[in-house]
Amino acid sequence: MMITKIAAGVAACLVSCSAFAVQKDITVTANVDTEVEMMHADGSALPSTVTLDYRPGQGLQKHVMPTKIYTNDVTSDMQIRLVSAPELIESTGPTAIRVPLTVTYMGKTLSATPETILAADAFPSGDASSGSEKIDLEIAPTNPGVLTKNGRYNGLVSLALVHSTAKP
């Protein structure tokens, strides 16, 4: 009889404890390109947001991000370009303040016109297993200097990286 009461108490506790369970749903995404990918030099995904530091008296500071290219074809040259002109915009007032940005990759200033990345420069060993050589992606104000308006400046740097259609 006593065992039956204890069993009933334990069962009631288990039922009431399960009411405190928590379910966590995590959405998982992947942006897959089976030909070519640009990643952080440590192999992690590039951040979707970076902050250009602002130093009073000096202005916005350049942001440098070490990257690597991963590809399944280390013999093909690649092309990189800007999808649109990058700029920061502060738009809380009656007129928007625009700060044009300059983006460089592998020492080349990028624009809407594709720049060629030679496969031999990116993959001098010809080995794709650990990605390309480290290549710095730099984002900086086109006209360095002090900004005259406080605010939150936002913008987008959009890059397109593809294999060249012509074989070397």
Rounded Cα distance between 9 and 79, Å, is 70
- Residue % of the chain over a pLDDT of 70: 86
Q: If pLDDT is split at 50, 70 and 90, which confidence band does 98 have?
A: very high
Q: What is the token pair recorded at 142? A: 């086109």
What range does the domain containing 87 cover?
A: 36-163
pLDDT, mean of residues 23-33: 84
pLDDT at res. 158 = 96
pLDDT at residue 96 in the model? 83
Query: Residue 157 — very low, low, confident or very high, per pLDDT cuts 50/70/90?
Result: very high
Domain assignment present for 17:
no
Q: Is 3 in a helix, a strand, or coil? A: helix
Residues 137, 105: Cα–Cα separation, whole Å: 5
CA distance 104 to 54: 20
The reply to whether 22 falls in a domain is: no
What phi and psi, each to the nearest 5 degrees, are found at residue 153? Answer: -100, 130
Does any domain span residue 145? yes
Q: Which residue has the higher pLDDT, 66 or 93?
A: 66
Band of pLDDT at residue 78, cut at 50, 70 and 90: very high
CA atoms of 89 and 100, how far apart (whole Å): 9
CATH of the domain at 67: 2.60.40.2040
Asked whether residue 20 is domain-assigned, the answer is no
> How much is the pLDDT for 101?
97
* Closest residue by Cα to residue 71 from 137, 133, 128: 128
What is the domain count for the chain?
1
Q: Is residue 135 part of a domain?
A: yes
Q: What is the mean pLDDT of the chain?
A: 87
User: What pLDDT does residue 11 have?
Assistant: 58
140-142-145 Cα angle (round to 5): 85
